[in-house]
Amino acid sequence: MKRRGLGCGAVFLAVLVLPVVLLAAAAAQNTRPKSPAMQTVGQVAGIPQRMLAAYHNAATRLPGEVPSCRGLTWAVLAGIARIESNHATGRTISPRGDITPHILGPVLDGSGTGGNTTAFPDTDHGRFDGTATAERAVGPFQFLPSTWTTTGRDANDDQRADPHNADDAALGAAVYLCGRGRNLTDRTQLSAAIYQYNHSQAYVSDVLGWIDRYSQLATGQIPIGQPATGTARTVIAAALAQTGTPYSWGGGNANGPSTGICCSPSGKSGTQIVGFDCSGLTLYAYAQAGIHLPRTAAQQAGAGTRIPASAGVGALKPGDLVFFAYDPTSDSTIHHVGIYLGNNQMINAARPGTLVRTEPLWDHGYAGGARLL
């Protein structure tokens, strides 16, 4: 389709995620849904509300375009758009969905710019991509003009299909992913649709990870996934058994919870609290499987086989360590570690004032993982 050594406990800014609400598609006398600019939707951390409305609008309208398609949710579109344009973050999005300035990929003239060495001849005379010398991907879903010609749709009822419009682009992406009528509730078919969008298995894994995360935010439920077995099961069971144990800065060792030390960057002392900090919990859980870990989160990133953030969340397996950093490209800035449970969930000791708990992977600072099992 297109080209392509800090300790634990630093204060984490929690983002409140409100439930996502869809309005009724239309009044009885009008079967078309409301204009997306008029829809009321909830909030999802990291997604501009106008883009979220576009994803909902596309999912609502899709049955009129590909009636046999199943499972195309707003979260599927959000997963694609997160990788393609980070939800048009930094652009202005008008009430009608028009995005300015336009989002333009590199000119695909075979020069190697943007990592693409295949030349794509111009097909739109610069109408969408601003150049008549070659093609370039455009809009929040990064369509090639040649693909947009057949896939593009008018989703905001202005009588034109524009890849630089959030609503049109989202519906066009939905149509493209559905093909002739895929069942996107089937993980295999969903993966095939994403691979068609961009022929890269790493891309597929990354997008699937974001789809799962957004789906969890919408439902509050964890989808059924790959169960942990063997040593991973031992590690996870040990960590889960500590659910509800208080956070203690510097607390926890191979034998279990312990009093901590003074003091966290926010000035919280663990000297009077029996519990775990983030790396204390992981150290303890792995010790129950006979595996010794160093004490701090940054040091633990050097244990086992490193899983880079660039591989995407989909590269993680249950039982892996999962890291977060101030600068995800620098392991020396790692400040938090948890244990991956699958389906974008981790168990961790989050920060002072909390208890050991299971929660979704954090949206900010993801720095990959490490596999010791």
- Based on the fold, state whether residues 257 and 325 are members of the same structural domain: yes
Check pLDDT > 90 for residue 104.
yes
Strands 99-100, 92-93: pairing kind? antiparallel
pLDDT at 5 (0 to 100) = 33
Please check the confidence at residue 228 and state whether its pLDDT lies above 50. Answer: yes
Average pLDDT over residues 5-33: 34
Q: Which residues pair with 259 in a beta bridge?
A: 274
18: in domain: no
Query: Can you state the angle between helices 201-219 and 187-197, rounded to 10 degrees?
Result: 120
Of 64, 56, 57, 70, nearest in space to 184 by CA: 70
Shared-domain flag, residues 94 and 175: yes
Same domain membership, residue 291 and residue 235 = yes
**Which amino acid, 232?**
A
Asked if the structure places residue 108 within a domain, the reply is: yes
179/236 same-domain check: no
Q: Which residue has the higher pLDDT, 230 or 242?
A: 242
Residues 196 and 259 in one domain: no
Q: In this structure, are 65 and 159 located in the same domain?
A: yes
Which of 118, 137, 156 is a domain's end point? Answer: 137
188 — pLDDT class (breaks 50, 70, 90)? very high
Q: Is the pLDDT of residue 224 over 50?
A: no
Would the pLDDT of 233 be above 90? no
Question: Where a domain ends, among 199, 219, 239?
Answer: 219
Residue 315 banded pLDDT, cuts 50, 70, 90: very high
- Among residues 188, 80, 193, 179, the alpha carbon closest in space to that of 137 is found at 80
Overall number of domains in the chain: 3
134-150 average pLDDT score: 92
Q: Which of 30-34, 160-164, 309-313 has the lowest mean pLDDT?
A: 30-34
Tell me: do 84 and 198 sit in the same domain.
yes
How confident is the model at residue 36, as a pLDDT?
A: 55
- Looking at the chain, the whole-number percentage of residues with pLDDT higher than 70 is 83
In a domain, 13, yes or no: no
156: which residues sit within 8 A by CB, 6+ positions away? 35, 36, 37, 96, 97, 165, 167, 168
Quote the distance between the C-alpha of residue 335 and its chain's center.
Answer: 20
Q: Which of 192, 219, 246 is the last residue of a domain?
A: 219
Lowest-pLDDT range of 6-10, 170-174, 348-352 = 6-10
Give the pLDDT confidence of 24-69 residue by residue, as tens digits. 233 333 344 455 544 556 667 678 999 999 999 999 999 999 999 9
Within-domain flag for 314:
yes
User: What is the pLDDT confidence band of residue 8, given thresholds at 50, 70 and 90?
Assistant: low
Q: Is 23 domain-assigned?
A: no
250 vs 199: which has the higher pLDDT: 250
Residues 53 and 182 in one domain: yes
CATH (domain of 181): 1.10.530.10
Q: Where are the beta strands (DSSP E) in the chain?
A: 92-93, 99-100, 258-259, 274-275, 305-307, 321-325, 334-342, 345-348, 357-360, 366-371
Three-state secondary-structure class, residue 129: coil
Is 14 part of any domain?
Answer: no
146 and 133 inside one domain: no
Residue 23: the pLDDT is 26
Quick one: pLDDT band at residue 358, thresholds 50, 70, 90? confident
Domain that holds residue 56: 36-101+139-219
- Is residue 10 assigned to a domain? no
User: Cis omega before residue 69 (within 30°)?
Assistant: no
Residues 239 and 174 in one domain: no
Enter the DSSP assignment of 310: G
For 247-273, what is each residue's pLDDT tens digit?
Answer: 999 999 999 999 999 998 889 999 999
Instruction: Specify if 30 maps to a domain.
Output: no
Confidence bin at 114 (pLDDT 50/70/90): low
CATH of the domain at 272: 3.90.1720.10
> In terms of domains, do 184 and 117 share one?
no
159 and 117 both lie in a single domain: no
Calculate mean pLDDT across residues 167-194: 96
Instruction: State the pLDDT confidence band at 173, using cuts at 50, 70 and 90.
Output: very high
